[in-house]
């Protein structure tokens, strides 16, 4: 019988993953450090028309597409003359489990049933777990959700506790753990002990499931306005939301649509820190995941992450927690739509970005998520106060993550703050080079890296030479 201590289980992780996912990732390896991403997506995943059919069977997708006329009108009050793009919203809270993650879960669960797995396992803070459990119960599969919930005091965030409740409502078994390395260890143990399918967020199945979201946005806007979106703004955390949506837009031939990532600015907080764990208002949609997953995507629970956000990002902006709470209330009070708040991160950013765009342009906020109980702003703000965080009205520029949540006194105070994409891309390259210890770059590796940072081969070669003293060799 295999040893179950931490070191032994971690040593078997690749073997466990291969059996639980059913993908031989070695087949896609290329050169010294790359892999054939498009081959992996096309050979392992399902094509778009198949996915549309699969999702229709479980009521996933075809969610409402709403023009936010009142929020657009409000944004135009603060925009220069002729500015103020129309803001549209894709209401993903209408999916069976209340978020866009039903799209990711639908294909993973479908594949698990098709391949004869008796159940599915997912490691998640909750929204995805609820989506997996919702889809699995439709397929008569068992579900186990491994959820990071508590700090060392045994205190759990109200949002995470609410999402655990939702998973249990769909009949899932939920294993609630404290912050730290036990999450991945427990996840591996569960996969090995049960023989269930790893319904990871980061397989080709999960990412391909989100492609329908981008595809629907373009299709529906063309039907209504006879044009593709000028920009689509996407809440960015682990990268799957952005990657899948962008790929769907490309498949809809929305080649000129700008892809903008948005995260809540939690600079200075570490997501693996017991002290910092409960000092944030949102469990996802923030820089604590958005930046690490952009610069080191293969830190995921599969050998090769199918979410590669840097390949698709044209801009990356942040907003403050207080600004998201403000726009969440505005969405409810002037549009009659209560959602979020984490899912409203991109709406907060869109409110500012629309003011910089022309009035005949369209910016699409591509998702919402359900609210209620621990996911409601009041529960989150009360929890912040209990943890010694100052909650007040004022200038959101003065907000310090983990110390204060400053809600704007006026909508004109909502604004985006750009993240330097070139710095992120440099950080990505640095991590790849450090981990692989590569001494020279082959032509095939150069192509992979150029695709990864969304630059030409010539630009990438120049960066490698100037920043890392690495030359490109043939072969």
pLDDT (tens digit, 9 = 90+) per residue, 233-280? Answer: 999 999 999 999 999 999 999 989 999 999 999 998 887 788 888 888
Measure CA of the first residue to CA of the last residue in the chain; give whole Å: 45
Annotation: CATH topology of 54-98+206-418: Rossmann fold (3.40.50)
pLDDT tens for 42-85 read: 987 789 999 999 999 999 999 999 999 999 999 999 999 999 99
Tokens 């045994």 map to which residue? 154
Mean pLDDT value of segment 445-471: 95
pLDDT of residue 475: 52
Which residue stretches of 336-420 are H helix?
345-354, 377-386
**pTM beyond 0.85, yes or no:** yes
Cis ω on the peptide bond leading into residue 221 (within 30° of 0)? no
Percentage of residues in the chain with pLDDT exceeding 70?
100
pLDDT of residue 361: 98
Mean pLDDT value of segment 449-453: 97
Contact 391, 454 (CB under 8 A): no
C-alpha gyration radius of the chain: 22
Name 105's Cβ contacts closer than 8 Å, sequence gap at least 6: 97, 122, 128, 131, 132, 134, 135, 136, 199, 206, 209
Angle (CA) 177 180 184, round 5°: 75
Per-residue pLDDT band for 301 (boundaries 50, 70, 90) equals confident
* Three-state DSSP state, 121: strand
φ/ψ bin of 410: left (φ > 0), alpha (ψ from -120 to 50), beta (otherwise): beta
pLDDT at 438 over 80: yes
Q: Where are the domains of the chain?
A: 54-98+206-418, 421-473
Per-residue pLDDT band for 369 (boundaries 50, 70, 90) equals very high
pLDDT at 188 over 60: yes
Q: What are phi and psi of 405, to 5 degrees?
A: -125, 115
Cα dihedral 147, 329, 91, 238 sign = negative
Name 280's Cβ contacts closer than 8 Å, sequence gap at least 6: 266, 269, 286, 288, 321, 401, 402
DSSP states of 285-298: SBHHHHHHHHH-GG
pLDDT of residue 45: 75
Q: Rounded mean pLDDT of the chain?
A: 94
Q: Which of 16-30, 140-154, 275-289 has the lowest mean pLDDT?
A: 275-289
* Three-state DSSP state, 198: strand
pLDDT tens for 156-165 read: 888 889 999 9
For residue 431, the tally of other CB atoms under 10 A from its CB is 16
pLDDT of residue 384: 93
pLDDT at 378 over 70: yes
């Amino acid at each position: 019988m295999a040893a179950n201590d931490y070191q032994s289980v971690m040593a078997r992780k690749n073997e466990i993953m291969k059996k639980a996912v059913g993908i031989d990732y070695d087949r896609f390896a290329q050169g010294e450090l790359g892999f054939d991403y498009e081959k992996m997506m096309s050979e392992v995943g399902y094509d778009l028309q198949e996915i549309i059919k699969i999702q229709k069977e479980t009521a996933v997708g075809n969610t409402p597409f709403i023009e936010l006329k009142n929020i657009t009108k409000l944004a135009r009050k603060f925009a220069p003359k002729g500015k103020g793009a129309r803001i549209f919203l894709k209401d993903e809270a209408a999916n069976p489990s209340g978020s866009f993650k039903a799209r990711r879960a639908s294909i993973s669960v479908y594949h698990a049933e098709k391949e004869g797995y008796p159940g599915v396992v997912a490691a998640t803070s909750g929204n995805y777990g609820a989506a997996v459990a919702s889809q699995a119960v439709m397929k008569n599969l068992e579900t186990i959700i491994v959820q990071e919930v508590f700090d060392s005091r045994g205190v759990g965030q109200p949002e995470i506790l609410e999402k655990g409740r939702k998973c249990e409502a769909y009949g899932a078994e939920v294993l609630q753990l404290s912050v730290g390395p036990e999450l991945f260890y427990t996840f591996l143990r569960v996969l090995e002990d049960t023989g269930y399918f790893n319904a990871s967020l980061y397989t080709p199945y999960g990412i391909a499931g989100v492609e329908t979201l981008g595809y629907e946005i373009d299709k529906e806007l063309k039907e209504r306005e006879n044009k593709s979106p000028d920009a689509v703004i996407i809440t960015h955390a682990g990268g799957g939301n952005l990657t899948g949506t962008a790929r769907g837009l490309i498949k809809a031939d929305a080649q000129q649509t700008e892809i903008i990532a948005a995260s809540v600015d939690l600079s200075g907080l570490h997501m693996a820190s017991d002290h910092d764990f409960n000092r944030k208002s949102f469990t996802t949609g923030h820089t604590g995941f958005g930046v690490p997953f952009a610069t080191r995507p293969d830190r995921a629970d599969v050998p090769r992450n199918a979410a590669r956000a840097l390949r698709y990002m044209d801009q990356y902006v942040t907003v403050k927690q207080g600004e998201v709470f403000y726009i969440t209330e505005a969405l409810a009070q002037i549009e009659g739509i209560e959602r979020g708040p984490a899912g409203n991160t991109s709406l907060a950013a869109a409110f500012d970005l629309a003011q910089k765009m022309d009035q005949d342009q369209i910016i699409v906020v591509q998702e919402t998520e359900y609210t209620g109980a621990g996911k409601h702003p009041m529960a989150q703000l009360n929890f912040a106060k209990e943890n010694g965080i100052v909650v007040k009205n004022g200038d959101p520029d003065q907000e310090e993550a983990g110390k204060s949540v400053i809600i704007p006194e006026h909508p004109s105070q909502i604004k985006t703050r750009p993240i330097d994409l070139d710095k992120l891309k440099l950080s990505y390259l640095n991590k790849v080079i450090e981990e692989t210890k590569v001494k020279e770059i082959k032509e095939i590796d150069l192509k992979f890296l150029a695709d990864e940072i969304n630059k030409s081969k010539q630009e990438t070669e120049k960066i490698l030479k100037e920043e890392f003293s690495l030359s490109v060799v043939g072969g």
